[in-house]
Amino acid sequence: MTAGTMTPRQLPPLQPLSFTLPPALEAPSPPEARGVTRDSVRMMVAHRSDRSLVHSHFSELPRFLDEGDLVVLNTSGTLAAEVDGSGPDGDPVQVHLSTQLPAGLWTVEIRRDGRAFLEAASGTTIGLRGGGQVCLLTPYSPGPSGVGVRLWVAVIETPGALPTYLARHGRPIRYGYVQGSFPISAYQNVYATEPGSAEMPSAGRPFTPEVLTRLVAKGVGVAPLLLHTGVASLEANEPPYAEYFKVSSSTAHRINDARRSGGRVIAIGTTVVRALESVVDEHGRVHPGEGWTETVVSPAHPVRSIDGFLTGWHEPEASHLAMLEAIAGRPLLEDSYRAALAEGYLWHEFGDVHLILP
């Protein structure tokens, strides 16, 4: 089964969840740099059945799951996807690799000073640090509010293989709230197997080998899928672009068997939900599939493939909040975010997490 094409589209109209995120709640660095372990970040557990909220830590995840439940992970690894370059005028720019397309093409984002998008035209060539170049072929998507071009379809030429080049000259894409530079290992989930994501599928970052072992010892299954994420200004109500995914026959069978036996399927991150909702049928049965998905989960799209969901905390009016509303319901979502702000939970990829259960 192949889902969708590779043309970005807009979200359906919905009432956004608006709130003010204080800068003090933006996690500035990985937990390890703050003196704690990956799995010690805070975790709010929200129950749909009675709208109850429990404050805990991620290391206690096995306590909230039952024998027969199944955790589904995205094993995509994070690329060192930011490379320094120079524009046609010689001024420095930053090249963000987003998504590898068929025929060896890429979508890329070209920024000045880490913020503004470079004004360019088709045929523009960007020189890369260490040799190589990026040739911009055609616009892929507009910038926020339709101003300028955000992503370009491009050809990337590097001396030697691109993965080797990125390992030598690239670095993780980093946003303004992160204070300091951290190695690519800080942006990898412990179970990542195949590099391909421009940004870390960060809901799974708190997992450690110890937590995974305790889950398995309790009788909770663990199943993989793959979805390579691109860059996205989700805070600008911009939906994810078409992304490559793969759900194996084994994972599809395990999901269906778990639910048939009364177990719950717990998706780790928005990427897992997007992949599974791309291959689930109207009866809730998940099928194996591989291809490009444009699926956007919102209250207008009923969620059929999962029962529970672990995610991070998303920015005001972020498009991912539409997925959370579809899973949790608007009242529980509002309760959770109100409590997270009051209790000082931390946001973004190095922050705390939110577990939504039936």
The string of pLDDT tens digits covering residues 28-53 is 999 999 999 999 999 999 999 999 99
Vertex 238: Cα angle to 173 and 183 (nearest 5)? 10
- Please check whether residues 162 and 31 belong to one and the same domain: no
Residues 114 and 190 reside in one and the same domain: no
- pLDDT score of 118: 78
The answer to whether residue 264 is domain-embedded is: yes
Query: How would you class 41 by CB atoms within 10 Å of its CB: exposed for 0-12, middle for 13-18, buried for 19 or more?
Result: buried
Question: Which CATH number characterizes residue 117's domain?
Answer: 2.40.10
Task: Answer yes or no: do 197 and 258 share one domain.
Answer: yes
User: Is the model more confident about 17 or about 270?
Assistant: 270
**209 and 112 within one domain:** no
Q: How confident is the model at residue 116 (pLDDT cuts 50, 70, 90)?
A: low
- Any idea which residue has 């703050």 for tokens? 34
Number of structural domains (the chain) is 2
pLDDT (0 to 100) of residue 142 = 66
User: CATH no. for residue 246?
Assistant: 3.40.1780.10
In tens, the pLDDT along 154-210 reads 999 999 999 999 999 999 999 889 999 999 999 999 999 999 999 999 999 999 999
Query: Are residues 314 and 336 both part of a single domain?
Result: yes
Contact criterion met (CB below 8 Å) for 247 and 51: no
Does 65 lie in the same domain as 45? yes
- Residue 18 falls within a domain, yes or no? no
pLDDT over 90 at 58, yes or no:
yes
Whether residue 16 lies inside any domain: the answer is no
pLDDT of 316 reads 87
Q: Which domain holds residue 196?
A: 23-78+183-357
- Same-domain check for residues 260 and 137: no
pLDDT of residue 145: 53
Q: Taking 60 as the threshold, does the pLDDT of residue 144 lie above it?
A: no
Q: Which of 136, 169, 202 is the last residue of a domain?
A: 169
The structure tokens listed for 201 are 């599928």
- Tokens representing 216 are 């398995």
pLDDT of residue 5: 36
**How large is the average pLDDT for residues 293-316?**
93
Higher pLDDT residue, 315 or 25? 25
Q: Can you give the pLDDT at residue 309? A: 97
Residue type, 137: L
Strand partners, 355: 45, 310
Residue 6 pLDDT greater than 50, yes or no: no
| Residue range 1-25: mean pLDDT, rounded | 62
Q: Return the percentage of the chain with pLDDT > 70, whole number.
A: 90
- Positive or negative: CA dihedral 57, 63, 64, 69: positive
pLDDT of residue 233: 55
Residue 5 lies in a domain: no
Mean local confidence (pLDDT), 318-327: 90
Residue 74 and residue 86 in one domain: no
Residues 6+ apart with CB under 8 A from 108: 95, 96, 97, 98, 134, 136, 151, 152, 154, 156
In this predicted structure, the answer to whether residue 234 has a pLDDT above a threshold of 50 is no
Q: Tell me, yes or no, whether 96 and 236 share the same domain.
A: no
Q: Pairing state of beta strands 149-157 and 194-197?
A: unpaired
Please check whether residues 268 and 140 belong to one and the same domain: no
- In a domain, residue 6? The reply is no
Q: Which residue has better confidence, 232 or 214?
A: 214
> If we measure between CA atoms, which residue out of 351, 348, 352, 358 comes closest to residue 327?
358
Label each residue of the chain as H, E or C: CCCCCCCCCCCCCCCCCCCCCCHHHECCCCHHHHCCCHHHCEEEEEECCCCCEEEEEHHHHHHHCCCCCEEEEECEEECCCEEEEECCCCCEEEEEEEEECHHHCEEEEEEECCCEECCCCCCCEEEECCCCEEEEEEEEEECHHHCCEEEEEEEEECCCCHHHHHHHHCECCCCCCCCCCCCHHHHCCCCCCEEEECCCCHHHCCCCHHHHHHHHHCCCEEEEEEECCCCCCHHHCCCCCCEEEEECHHHHHHHHHHHHCCCCEEEECHHHHHHHHCCECCCCCECCEEEEECCCCCCCCCCCCCCEEEECCCCCCCCHHHHHHHHHCHHHHHHHHHHHHHHCCCECCCCCEEEEEC
105 and 71 in a common domain: no
The rounded mean pLDDT for the chain is 91
Return the pLDDT at 115: 63
When comparing pLDDT for 317 and 89, which is higher?
89
Residue 137 φ then ψ, to 5°:
-95, -55
Read off the pLDDT of residues 84-96 as tens digits, 9 standing for 90 and up: 999 988 999 999 9
The answer to whether residue 177 is domain-embedded is: no
Structure tokens at 154: 């491009």
Last residue of a domain, one of 115, 141, 169: 169
Do residues 267 and 277 lie in contact, with contact meaning Cβ atoms separated by under 8 Å? no
Choose the final residue of a domain: 125, 141, 169. Answer: 169
What is the pLDDT at residue 319?
A: 80
Predicted pLDDT of residue 310: 98
User: Looking at the predicted structure, is the pLDDT value of residue 10 above 80?
Assistant: no
Give the pLDDT score at 120: 86
Whether residue 114 has pLDDT greater than 70:
no
57 and 93 together in one domain: no
247 occurs within a structural domain:
yes
Q: Is residue 229 part of a domain?
A: yes
What pLDDT is recorded for position 259?
Answer: 97
Buried b (16+ CB within 10 A) or exposed e, 322-342: bbbbbbbbeebbebbbeebbe
Please indicate whether residue 318 or residue 105 has the higher confidence score (pLDDT): 105
Tell me which of 144 and 176 has the higher pLDDT.
Answer: 176
Report pTM.
0.91
Q: What is the mean pLDDT of residues 260-286?
A: 97
Residue 237 has pLDDT above 80, yes or no: no
